[in-house]
């Protein structure tokens, strides 16, 4: 599936559309360069699942956990491994408590850094690519 965006509102709307296709236990592997819109996409997705908290990038905290108001998804876990120093750091903050749980959706930015943890069958790859300074292409596999 492929989407194209021009504005940050478009990116949030794509996140909302993708959220409707997710189920508990899914793990989104979110790829994209710095500034490509990964956190904006995630904000739309997380809000569509009924999260009322302000959604922020976990660049410095590594992981944010949100309570969702969704029939099947009760927790949304957003990880950003860009600043990960050691592959075990994410395990230390508790990611393995959430991965592939039937009532949890995990979103992992820069997933290659923690590929050793991503062994389940519910991985969904989403790539955000620059077309130019404003437009993006989002591909979901």
pLDDT at position 39 is: 92
Residue 90, pLDDT > 90, answer no
The total of structural domains in the chain comes to 1
* Chain centroid offset of residue 37 CA: 11
**DSSP for residue 132:** S
Which pTM was predicted?
A: 0.93
Q: How confident is the model at residue 9 (pLDDT cuts 50, 70, 90)?
A: very high
Domain with 12 in it? 2-140
Q: How confident is the model at residue 73 (pLDDT cuts 50, 70, 90)?
A: very high
SS3 letters across 31-48: EECCCCCHHHHHHHHHHH
pLDDT at position 49 is: 98
- Distance, in Å, from the CA atom of 137 to the CA atom of 36, rounded to the nearest integer, reads 10
- Distance, in Å, from the CA atom of 6 to the CA atom of 9, rounded to the nearest integer, reads 8
Alpha helices in the chain (DSSP H): 8-19, 38-48, 89-92
Domain holding 38: CATH number?
Answer: 3.40.50.300
């Amino acid at each position: 599936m492929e989407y194209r965006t021009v504005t940050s509102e478009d990116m949030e709307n794509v996140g909302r559309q993708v959220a409707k296709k997710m189920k508990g236990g899914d793990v989104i592997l979110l790829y994209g360069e710095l500034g490509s819109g990964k956190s904006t996409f995630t904000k739309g997705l997380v809000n569509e699942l009924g999260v009322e908290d302000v959604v922020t990038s976990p660049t410095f905290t590594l992981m944010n956990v949100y309570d969702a108001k969704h029939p099947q998804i009760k927790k949304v876990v957003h990880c950003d491994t860009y600043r990960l120093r050691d592959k075990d750091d994410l395990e230390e903050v508790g990611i393995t408590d959430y991965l592939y749980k039937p009532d949890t959706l995990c979103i992992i930015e820069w997933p290659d850094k923690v590929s050793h943890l991503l062994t389940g069958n519910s991985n969904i790859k989403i790539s955000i690519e620059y077309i130019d300074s404003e437009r993006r292409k989002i591909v979901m596999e």
